[in-house]
């Protein structure tokens, strides 16, 4: 099997995946740096020789384009184009979660600054505003009063690009239990590991220094995570599902296609790189 791994720079996860693939005699590993690849629509590309390409670029757009390019040539990618498209946009993810009756925070998108402010005032403070495209907890805003709401809305409208200045993604603020949230890793239909992320900041993201600890997977927890994964991907996939604990129970907040799992490598005893490579072999077969 010729396995391509598409990446930006070798983070902890990619180094572990490279090492796991290289020790398997049945795998020929092809490392594909995202700033070096060229997708020529009229000539063959070396990436077309791979049986499967695992998409690990930090750029959603690069993963998105390569998936479309390869699927158009009849090649297999992990994750597929549709899954990347849905998970790469918070509102598309929210639509699929709601459609499949997955418990999720109350969410609304407005296309106008005035209607966004009216919604925030109606819902009450605090409120959360997020970019529909983004990662690592960047550009998230917890809005505590009208003055802050007016300022942030104006900044988004004047300074944001098309995905930020014209799209106002509004979500209810949830007071997290123990100032923490949960992340689970799904490989295919299996929830293989989960962790609790704790932080003094309201954004509990390992990229922002959150502490992690192992989280015991129960049957109800696994069932909810599996349902959320199936809501965004018709095919078995590699996904990270983020959840929060509320008075009404668990709610799914986001689902990540290009999931980072360095925190879970620290918190869990599960050999995640091995399971990912085994899954790649299964998908490619």
pLDDT tens figures, 96-155: 999 999 999 999 999 999 999 999 999 999 999 998 887 766 778 999 999 999 999 998
pLDDT of residue 162: 61
Compute the mean pLDDT over every residue in the chain, rounded to the nearest whole number.
Answer: 91
The pTM of this model reads 0.90
CATH architecture of 107-172: 2-Layer Sandwich (3.30)
Please say if the pLDDT value at position 187 is more than 70: yes
pLDDT of residue 266: 85
Instruction: Quote the tokens at residue 238.
Output: 């590699």
The whole-number average pLDDT for the span 70-80 is 96
Instruction: Quote the tokens at residue 211.
Output: 């502490």
Instruction: Give whole-number Cα distances, 138 to 33, 41, 209, 275, in Å.
Output: 24, 34, 13, 29
pLDDT tens figures, 8-42: 999 999 999 999 999 999 999 999 999 999 998 88
CATH class belonging to 87-103+175-272? alpha beta
Please say if the pLDDT value at position 83 is more than 80: yes
pLDDT of residue 248: 84
Q: Contact, 246 vs 173, CB < 8 A?
A: no
Integer Rg of the chain from CA = 20
- CATH code linked to domain 2-82: 3.40.50.20
pLDDT tens figures, 196-248: 988 776 666 666 667 889 999 999 999 999 999 999 999 999 999 999 998 88
First-to-last C-alpha distance (Å) of the chain: 8
pLDDT tens figures, 142-164: 999 999 999 999 988 887 766 66
Q: For the chain, which residues make up each domain, given as ranges?
A: 2-82, 87-103+175-272, 107-172
Give the lowest-confidence range in 25-29, 85-89, 265-269. Answer: 265-269
SS3 per-residue string spanning 203-236: CCCHHHCCEEEECCCCHHHHHHHHHHHHHHCCCC
Q: Contact, 283 vs 52, CB < 8 A?
A: yes
The model's confidence at residue 179, banded by pLDDT at 50, 70 and 90, is confident
């Amino acid at each position: 099997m010729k396995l391509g791994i598409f990446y930006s720079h070798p983070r902890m996860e990619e180094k572990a995946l490279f090492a796991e693939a290289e020790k398997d005699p049945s795998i020929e590993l092809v490392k594909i740096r995202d700033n070096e690849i060229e997708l020529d629509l009229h000539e063959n590309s070396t990436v077309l020789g791979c049986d499967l390409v695992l998409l690990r670029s930090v750029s959603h757009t690069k993963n998105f384009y390569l998936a479309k390019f390869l699927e158009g040539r009849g090649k297999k990618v992990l994750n597929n184009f549709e899954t990347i498209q849905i998970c790469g946009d918070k509102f598309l993810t929210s639509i699929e979660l709601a459609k499949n009756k997955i418990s999720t925070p109350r969410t609304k998108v407005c296309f106008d600054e005035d209607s966004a402010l009216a919604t925030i005032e109606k819902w009450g403070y605090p409120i959360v505003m997020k970019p529909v495209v983004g990662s690592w907890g960047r550009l998230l805003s917890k809005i505590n009063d009208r003055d802050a709401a007016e300022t942030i809305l104006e900044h988004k409208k004047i300074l944001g690009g098309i995905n930020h200045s014209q799209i106002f993604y509004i979500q209810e603020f949830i007071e997290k239990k123990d100032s923490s949230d949960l992340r689970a890793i799904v490989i295919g239909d299996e929830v293989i590991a989960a962790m609790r992320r704790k932080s003094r900041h309201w954004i509990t993201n390992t990229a922002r220094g959150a502490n992690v600890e192992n989280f015991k997977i129960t049957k109800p927890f696994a069932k909810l995570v599996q349902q959320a994964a199936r809501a965004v991907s018709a095919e078995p996939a590699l996904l990270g599902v983020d959840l929060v604990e509320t008075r009404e129970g668990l709610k799914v907040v986001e689902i990540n296609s290009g999931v980072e799992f360095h925190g879970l490598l620290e918190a869990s005893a599960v050999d995640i790189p091995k399971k990912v490579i085994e899954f790649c072999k299964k998908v490619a077969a």
